Chain A
Amino acid sequence: MTLTAPARTAPPPALPGRAPGARRAWRRASPYAYIAPFFTLFAAFGLFPLLYTAYVSLYRVELQTPGDMQWRGLGNYTALFADEFFWTSLRNTFTIGVLSTVPQLAMALGLAHLLNHRLRGRTFFRTAMLLPYATSVAAATLVFSQLYGRDFGLVNYVLGLVGTDPVDWQSGTFASQAAVSTIVIWRWTGYNALIYLAGMQSIPHELYEAAEMDGASRWRQFFHVTLPGLRPTIVFTAVVSTIGATQLFGEPLLFEGSLSGGISHQYQTLGLYMYEQGWGFFHLGRAAAVAWVMFLLIVLLVGANALIARRRTRKEAGR
């Protein structure tokens, strides 16, 4: 013990002068060492696939003959942009995204507002909110597609009771997109409501008290205290929902079990289009090109989102 004690307080005499340097180097390097495990994994499972996908997208590669790669240059991309169904799926991704995200976030906000009040069994309701999120996409979609059956579905049965003609929820463009959107809405509204709830609870109570003293009604409080206070949270959920909507895949795939997203691609999203190219037709190069276009699209969307958010904040600050 006594022998080692000096070593603890002073550098070992065998390395005079070098130790401070080594220590300094270590101090400088150690953060990198600490984050290395993450970045090693990220490089192996995130960065490498990303770059390799870009590489593959320049070749003609078929799943049946993956060893046989033919250089195509940007051919996969030009073929993609010349394909009408690509644009259809891009449009569908956008419309389904709007149809699902807007009502979902609006409803989540309303629900969070209700949950923020003192009410009986609050914990129960908060937990119940999260249940759809905990359900698997496959199970939820299978149930929904039964409900939306044209001839024997519950939805059309109820519509029939009020005297409406049955709707073909699979073939109709708007009908099928609306049906797919409801699955997304059902699954994600509760999740977003909880995030909003957390955001609402971090708004200082004094603000509400002050507003109340000024005679602001509940509604005015909601619009002038809650909403501004929630802005960062709303931006976050909008970004996450946008990414989710761009990648939407499971729901449209399992809705009818159709790779083409319905008989006339009426609800085929970009994710499903990529899957059809890759695992329906086995064109891996084409699928890789779609993947990169999707990636760039998401970067673009998120960038635009961040830009808008920043400009708003700056405006607020300048006010």
Chain B
Amino acid sequence: MSHARAAGRTAARLGAAALAAVLLAACGGSPEGAAGGADGKVTVTVDLFGSFGYEEAGLYAEYEKLHPGVTIKQTDTEDEADYWKSLQTRLAGGGGLADVQAIEVGRIASAVQQQADRFEDLRAYGAEGLKPGFPEAKWAAATGKDGRIVGLGTDVGPEAMCYRTDLLAQAGLPTDREELARRWSTWEGYLELGRQYQAKAPAKSAWIDSVGSLYSVMIGQQKERYYDASGTLIWDTNPALKAAWDASVSAAQSGLSAKLDQWSPQWNQAFAAGSFATLPCPAWMLGYIKGQAGEAGRGKWDVAKLPAGAGNWGGSYLAVPRAAKHKKEAYELIAWLTAPEQQAKLFRKQGNFPSASGAIAQIADATDPYFSGAPIGRIFGEAAKAAPVQVLGVHDQNIAQQITNALGEVERKGTAPEQAWGNAKKGVQNTVG
């Protein structure tokens, strides 16, 4: 899905295999593509990470029907970090690139600031006309200082809180989403409920999956996270970041966490085992929960408003590399895929929340029976509207990883928070250095 590392790290472990698959697919795709044009038949290759859900939602089939002669071939790398590595290698070499490449929002700054010349300027295809259909921030993030447009927005990641009604009931806590939203209207309220839960919780069940995920949503509520608007690194003096860190440390020290590593196989297994009662969830997480908890989880989950206001975690763009073979066809495809109708359809089928303003209105009434009929259209729609416009930086993704690693040390190894913070600092030094 459209965020870093959303998709299981299980597959990350198959990095080598995935990379090979991508390369093979890329190699296999090119001759067909090159042979294209002549007889009016064109194969457009699309290279994505995680699961964008286009294929599953039937969008490719629909597009192929609308455009006879066009065949879409998708390759997919499960883990975004692996995908990005492989994409960088191919961009540096200039070969093996697909006609459409996805870019995560945590990487878009890097693509726009450092590699804009490797991607097509979509203004050449009339992309400027699409601008009014997108919120200003989503559009601006993929636009260079010179006005060059690098990508079109797919989804965004408005945040909410997913929870297990059955586990909360067992611990004698309310399960109604409105009441819970009131009780955890602040993060302190959320942690307090957690302590109450932990006191009466069923065996081997914790309040939250990991403090890393707590940190990720909390920092997602901030406008400035790792960089300020001028592009200066401010993460280690950012009071909002420190507050998120402190809350996460406090949760770890109160034993509220199941101490799982997000996207690890153990984390995946924990969904079915009921190891945690709440999971902060950006919209794209809904599909992940369904996939991991399976049919047995149907009706046991619910979605409520996030404590302390709205936030955003993740989201993506589709871009056309300069080295693409069928640039015009590729642009037509991404313009269609990111159009409001298609984005709305995708949300209803897969849960990826639309970035196009027109699509948000269309899905306002959506509910999800899997999540006890929660009004996901309204909850995520309001969150998307209220979420801050984040300042993005080149190293966002890697810095976040260093911090969640350090929190993992506090949580799983009992490392002193000051020492862990020092480790995070050294890690970030390596990252940006």
Q: Which residues of A contact B (CB under 8 A)?
A: 62-66, 79, 83-85, 138, 141-142, 145-146, 149-152, 168, 170-172, 250, 253-254, 256-257, 259-260, 263-264, 276-277, 279-283, 286
Contacts and interface: CB of A to CB of B under 8 A. Distances in A.
Contacts of B9: 256-257
Contacts of A84: 426
A83 B430 contact: yes
Contacts of A277: 430
B298 interface: no
Contacts of A253: 15
Nearest to B422: A84
Given A152-B273, A281-B430, A263 B409 contact: yes
B92 A257 contact: no
Contact of B415 (A172, A256, A264, A282): A264
B16 A138 contact: yes
Contacts of B269: 149, 151-152
Interface in B1-23: 9-10, 12-17
Given A142-B14, A260-B427, A264-B413, 17 more contacts: A62-B114, A83-B430, A141-B13, A149-B265, A168-B412, A250-B16, A256-B9, A257-B10, A260-B405, A263-B261, A263-B408, A264-B423, A276-B430, A277-B430, A279-B85, A280-B85, A281-B431
User: Which 4 A-B pairs rank lowest in CB-CB distance, beginning with the nearest?
Assistant: A263-B408, A257-B12, A257-B13, A257-B9
B78 to A, nearest CB: 10
Given A85-B426, A149-B265, A254-B13, A63 B270 contact: no
Contact of B405 (A79, A168, A264): A264
Contacts of B427: 85, 260
B89 interface: yes
Interface in B402-427: 405-406, 408-409, 412-413, 415, 423, 426-427
Interface in B202-229: none
Contacts of A260: 405, 427
Nearest to B270: A151
Q: Which of A168, A172, A263 has the most CB of B within 10 A?
A: A263
Contacts of A150: 266
Interface string B90-113: 011000000000000000001000
Nearest to A60: B433
Interface string B253-293: 00000000100111001100101000000000000000000
A300 B9 CA distance: 37
B17 A138 contact: yes
B398 A281 contact: yes
Given A64-B115, A256-B261, A171 B413 contact: yes
Given A171-B413, A263-B413, A146 B265 contact: yes
Contact of A256 (B88, B114, B264, B430): B264
Nearest to A279: B85
Contact of A138 (B14, B409, B415): B14
B360 to A, nearest CB: 33
A63 B266 contact: no
B79 interface: yes
Contacts of B430: 83, 85, 276-277, 281
A83 B429 CA distance: 9
B260 to A, nearest CB: 8
Contacts of B12: 257
A63 B412 CA distance: 33
A171 B264 contact: no
A226 B87 CA distance: 54
A111 B409 CA distance: 40
Contacts of A138: 13-14, 16-17
Contacts of B92: 63-64, 66
Given A149-B266, A263-B408, A281-B430, A64 B114 contact: yes
Contacts of A79: 433
Contacts of A279: 85
Contacts of A276: 430
Q: Which of B89, B264, B415, B430 has the most CB of A within 10 A?
A: B430
Interface string B59-102: 00000000000000000000101000100110110000000000
A65 B114 contact: yes
B111 to A, nearest CB: 8
A257 B79 contact: yes
Given A63-B88, A149-B266, A282-B88, A264 B409 contact: yes
B249 to A, nearest CB: 14
A170 B13 contact: no
A66 B79 CA distance: 24
Nearest to A254: B13
B85 A171 contact: no
A171 B398 contact: no
B259 to A, nearest CB: 8
Contacts of B15: 253-254, 257
Interface string B108-147: 0010001100000000000000000000000000000000
Contacts of B429: 83
Given A83-B430, A145-B13, A257-B9, A64 B265 contact: no
Given A85-B426, A263-B405, A282-B88, A151 B13 contact: no
A151 B210 CA distance: 14
Contacts of A64: 88, 91-92, 110, 114-115
Contacts of A263: 261, 405-406, 408-409, 412-413
A263 B431 CA distance: 15
Given A64-B114, A145-B265, A149-B266, A171 B426 contact: no
Nearest to A278: B85
Contacts of A62: 114
A150 B210 CA distance: 14
A264 B264 CA distance: 16
Contact of A142 (B13, B88, B270): B13
Given A84-B426, A85-B426, A263-B405, A152 B88 contact: no
A151 B266 contact: yes
Interface string B370-412: 0000000000000000000000000000100000011011001
A9 B89 CA distance: 60
Contacts of B405: 260, 263-264
Q: Which of A142, A170, A276, A282 has the most CB of B within 10 A?
A: A282
A65 B114 CA distance: 7
